[in-house]
Amino acid sequence: MSELSDMIRKMFKEGDDIRDAGLTTPEDIKRFDDIVYGSDENWQVLDVYRPKNAEGKLPVIISVHGGGWVYGDKERYQFYCMSLAQRGFAVVNFTYRLAPEFKFPSSLEDTNLVAEFVMKNAEEYGFDTENIFAVGDSAGAHLLGLYSGFLTNKEYANKYEFKAPEGFSLKAVALNCGVSRITSDDKESQDFQLMKELLPGGATDEEIENISVVNFITHDYPATFVMTADGDFLKDKQLPLVAKLMECNVPNVFRYYYVPGDQPLGHVFHCNMKLDEAARCNDEECNFFKSFIR
């Protein structure tokens, strides 16, 4: 492992530990933990959360966690995901294979395996497979952005050996504080150094183009909620995504969150269950999803 990956894992963990200190499972949530969805019981595991008082099938949210492509797991996203479940959804919170131990497209393949799990286990966990949504944060937004292209762009899907599960589609997605256009202009940047960790060829120009979300958006792309904040170090990265969505006539909402006169809202602030603005953002995203339920 590189010094960069090791540093990110330590730094992000310290921040997440502080963020989640004292949080517990809400009394109104029923959880199903540590379900293996692939062949690797260490990496390919997920949780399902549902409101305890809900009966029958619920619309689904699949959460793709962030972490700079080298960090993160479902444990770090459990409280955020359970808060989404409290808003009337069955939420699937999964761990996927990370770089540098696993190279792309392992994480994309794992996302597809989770989609297969949802379709195959709809009866057991009460998934309404006619109303499936997804959220992705930071590197997870990048991964979800690519997977949305995989589902809706046949040319892009044909680049991979695995296939989307029959009948699976995303009605809408939320891409939070992510990156949609990767470039090799600044090869000393942290983003590019992480691409060298992620990509099997060490981030060739062809590989970079193959993981730039904006390259694969078409008019069939799912409706998209794009979010950033005044203290998000990736806030400028949202503009190419919004422009491409508009160019392709994809229904979209762009939200820029801030609190006047207060501390700036940081990167993926919406995962902090102690912030009022997180609740506001998550309410708006879930309401966006609900507007597509028929």
Residue ranges and CATH numbers for the domains of the chain are 3-290 (3.40.50.1820)
Q: What is the structure's pLDDT at 53?
A: 95
Contacts of 65 by beta carbon, 8 Å cutoff, 6+ apart: 72, 73, 74, 76, 77, 93, 94, 95, 96, 137, 140
pTM of the model: 0.97
Distances (CA, A) of 255 to 90, 145, 239, 262: 24, 17, 11, 18
Burial of 114 (0-12, 13-18, 19+ CB in 10 A): buried
Q: What is the structure's pLDDT at 136?
A: 98
| Residue 60 to residue 114: CA distance in whole angstroms | 12
**Rg of the Cα trace of the chain?**
18
Q: What is the structure's pLDDT at 13?
A: 96
Contacts of 188 by beta carbon, 8 Å cutoff, 6+ apart: none
| Residue 163 to residue 268: CA distance in whole angstroms | 30
Q: What is the structure's pLDDT at 182?
A: 85
| Residue 277 to residue 259: CA distance in whole angstroms | 8
Phi then psi for residue 189, to 5 deg, are -70, 155
Q: What is the structure's pLDDT at 294?
A: 86
The answer to whether the beta carbons of residues 242 and 228 sit under 8 Å apart is: no
Q: What is the dihedral of CA 266, 81, 287, 142, to 10 degrees?
A: 60
Paired sense of beta strands 223-229 and 172-176, if any: parallel
Per-residue pLDDT of the chain (294 residues; tens, 9 = 90+): 688 899 999 999 999 999 999 999 999 999 999 999 999 999 999 999 999 999 999 999 999 999 999 999 999 999 999 999 999 999 999 999 999 999 999 999 999 999 999 999 999 999 999 999 999 999 999 999 999 999 999 999 999 999 999 999 999 999 999 999 888 776 777 888 899 999 999 999 999 999 999 999 999 999 999 999 999 999 999 999 999 999 999 999 999 999 988 789 999 999 999 999 999 999 999 999 999 998
| Residue 5 to residue 123: CA distance in whole angstroms | 39
Residue 57 DSSP label: -
Which residue reads 């006619």 in tokens? Answer: 130
Q: What is the structure's pLDDT at 186?
A: 64
Look up residue 125 and give its two tokens.
């966990």
Paired sense of beta strands 172-176 and 127-137, if any: parallel
Look up residue 187 and give its two tokens.
């090869």
